[in-house]
């Protein structure tokens, strides 16, 4: 055999051995590596090192991250978790460090992130049966990184449909739910995943609202109550359907499932320690309104014309004076941020009521 043929046969044998080793490693991993069972989405607030599932409440402007977690079971029956979080809490129980792993397996997972939102921003219902139409949807976020850890994002998909005034430098607030899918591909297929793991899904809502990974970010003071409903579906009953749906809508509001104008107003006043009858209304002209601050208007106050009301939000026009360019929180067919002039477009006076900040 010529030296060239010896070299060629050596290469062939080497490749064959390599393929056998790789194939054997693949089979060994399938046989003895922890078997993947489930996925979780977890929230870490401000690089605290602790990622946890369930509902997390933060102040607007507080940064957070989303962590993908894969639950697996070893051949000895022990549960372990693949994640890049330093510490992990699932359903209120902290996972021991010896049960946590960083993914270093032969195959790379594909991680897809979703927000979970009501199927539309506004519903009007005429009877209790109409509530059965309400559902949540998993909305893929293609612009988010497909990584184990992604920056937290509260922006709802419905914001574009509502044509809300952009926040600019104002910290974002509202409620958002998250879903993650982890797809495992093998060398035999790059198109169809060998296994697909999902965290809690939209169909599990509203029943599992307390366990679903959710971030609720609120503005300070009297704005806490109205700011938390942004991102949720507004469900408005007609007068005839109010009585038979009131209990469920109140429950859904407490669980951050949906809201109505009445539940927002009631919560705002209850948190502020006043009733609607105790409010003192004053007629003001938005062309030269009251000043902002301790002796005048503040975020969380109410403005109304007839039965149309909004919550005062942010001084955006002439500094220090309530005017038509200032921003309000409006709950007319979906929660949105509006300029005063876009709500109260005509000339004339509006009624203003100061709402006390119970936290001060």
pLDDT on residue 204? 97
352 to each of 201, 261, 289, how far by Cα in Å? 43, 18, 10
**Is 49 a domain residue?**
yes
Sign of CA pseudo-dihedral 99, 103, 104, 107 = positive
Q: Specify which residues 283 forms β-bridges with.
A: 351
pLDDT on residue 197? 97
On average, the pLDDT of the chain sits at 88
**Is 131 a domain residue?**
yes
**Is 26 a domain residue?**
yes
pLDDT on residue 194? 84
**Is 59 a domain residue?**
yes
Among residues 197, 219, 241, the one where a domain terminates is 219
Q: For the residues 99-109, what does the mean pLDDT come to?
A: 91
Alpha-carbon distance of 40 to 38, in angstroms, equals 7
pLDDT on residue 29? 46
Domain shared by 100 and 215, yes or no: yes
Domain shared by 16 and 39, yes or no: no
**Is 63 a domain residue?**
yes
User: Tell me: the pLDDT tens digits for 196-224?
Assistant: 999 999 999 999 999 999 999 999 999 99
Q: Specify which residues 219 forms β-bridges with.
A: none
Tell whether the model's pLDDT for residue 262 goes beyond 70.
Answer: yes
Domain shared by 170 and 86, yes or no: yes
Q: Which carries the bigger pLDDT value, residue 9 or residue 254?
A: 254
Q: In the structure, what pLDDT confidence band is assigned to residue 189 with cuts at 50, 70 and 90?
A: low
Domain shared by 148 and 214, yes or no: yes
DSSP string, 55-116: EEEEETT--EEEEEEEEEE-TTS-EEEE-S-SEEEETTEEPPGGGEE----SS-EEEEEEEE
Q: Which carries the bigger pLDDT value, residue 19 or residue 197?
A: 197
> What is the signed CA dihedral for 230, 234, 239, 243, rounded to 10 degrees?
-90
User: Tell me: the pLDDT tens digits for 111-165?
Assistant: 999 999 999 999 999 999 999 999 999 999 999 999 999 999 999 987 776 777 7
Domain shared by 150 and 200, yes or no: yes
**Is 224 a domain residue?**
no
Domain shared by 75 and 168, yes or no: yes
Tell whether the model's pLDDT for residue 169 goes beyond 90.
Answer: no
Strand 136-140 versus strand 195-198 pairing type: unpaired
Q: For the residues 54-64, what does the mean pLDDT come to?
A: 96
Tell whether the model's pLDDT for residue 233 goes beyond 80.
Answer: yes
pLDDT on residue 21? 43
Q: Which of 232, 113, 135 is nearest to 179 (CA)?
A: 113
Q: In the structure, what pLDDT confidence band is assigned to residue 237 with cuts at 50, 70 and 90?
A: very high
pLDDT on residue 188? 66
User: Tell me: the pLDDT tens digits for 269-309?
Assistant: 999 999 999 999 999 988 877 888 877 899 999 999 988 99
CA 282-283-286 angle, to 5 degrees, is: 125
Domain shared by 8 and 156, yes or no: no
Judge whether 291 and 319 are in contact, CB under 8 Å. no
> How much of the chain exceeds pLDDT 90, in percent?
70
Domain shared by 188 and 287, yes or no: no
Alpha-carbon distance of 114 to 106, in angstroms, equals 26
Supply the Cα-derived Rg of the chain in whole angstroms: 27
Alpha-carbon distance of 315 to 129, in angstroms, equals 42
Give the total number of structural domains in the chain: 3
CATH of the domain at 86: 2.60.40
Tell whether the model's pLDDT for residue 24 goes beyond 70.
Answer: no
Say whether 282 sits in a helix, a strand or coil: strand
Domain limits at 269? 233-353
Domain shared by 28 and 136, yes or no: no
Domain shared by 183 and 265, yes or no: no
**Is 359 a domain residue?**
no
Alpha-carbon distance of 132 to 310, in angstroms, equals 29
Judge whether 99 and 71 are in contact, CB under 8 Å. no
Among residues 188, 219, 250, the one where a domain terminates is 219
Phi, psi for residue 311 in degrees, rounded to 5: -105, 125
**Is 228 a domain residue?**
no
Judge whether 180 and 42 are in contact, CB under 8 Å. no
Domain shared by 317 and 248, yes or no: yes
Among residues 166, 189, 219, the one where a domain terminates is 219
Domain shared by 57 and 182, yes or no: yes
Strand 327-330 versus strand 308-314 pairing type: antiparallel
pLDDT on residue 157? 86
Element containing residue 245 per DSSP (H, E): helix 242-254
Name the packing angle between helices 261-272 and 242-254 (round to 10°).
60
């Amino acid at each position: 055999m010529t030296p060239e043929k010896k070299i060629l046969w050596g290469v062939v044998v080497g490749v064959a051995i390599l393929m056998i080793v790789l194939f054997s490693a693949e089979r060994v991993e399938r046989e003895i590596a922890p078997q993947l069972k489930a996925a979780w989405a977890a929230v870490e607030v401000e690089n605290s090192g602790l990622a946890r599932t369930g509902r997390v409440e933060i102040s607007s402007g507080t940064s957070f991250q989303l962590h993908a977690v894969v639950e697996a079971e070893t051949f000895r029956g022990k549960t372990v978790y693949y994640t890049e979080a330093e510490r992990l809490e699932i359903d209120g129980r902290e996972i021991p460090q010896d049960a946590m792993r960083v993914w270093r397996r032969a195959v790379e997972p594909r991680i897809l992130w979703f927000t979970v939102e009501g199927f539309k921003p506004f519903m009007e219902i005429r009877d209790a049966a109409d509530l059965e139409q309400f559902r949540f949807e998993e909305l893929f976020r293609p612009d988010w990184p497909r990584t184990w850890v992604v920056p937290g994002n509260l922006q709802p998909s419905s914001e574009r449909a509502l044509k809300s005034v952009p926040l600019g430098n104002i910290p974002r607030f509202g409620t958002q739910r998250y879903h993650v899918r982890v797809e495992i591909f093998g060398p035999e297929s790059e198109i169809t995943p060998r296994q697909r793991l999902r965290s809690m899904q939209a169909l599990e809502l509203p029943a599992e609202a307390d366990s679903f990974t959710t971030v609720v970010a609120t503005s300070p003071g009297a704005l806490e109550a109205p700011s938390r409903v942004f991102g949720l579906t507004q469900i408005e009953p007609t007068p005839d359907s109010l009585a038979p749906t009131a209990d469920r809508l109140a429950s859904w509001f407490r669980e951050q499932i949906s809201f109505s104008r009445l539940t927002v107003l009631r919560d705002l006043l209850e948190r502020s320690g006043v009733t609607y009858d105790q409010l003192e209304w004053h007629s003001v002209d938005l062309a030269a309104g009251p000043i902002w601050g301790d002796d005048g208007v503040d975020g969380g106050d109410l403005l109304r014309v007839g039965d149309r009301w909004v919550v005062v939000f942010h001084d955006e026009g002439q500094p220090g004076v309530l005017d038509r360019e200032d921003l309000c929180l409006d709950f007319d067919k979906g929660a949105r941020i509006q300029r005063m002039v876009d709500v109260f477009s005509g000339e004339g006076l509006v009624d203003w009521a100061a709402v006390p900040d119970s936290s001060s």
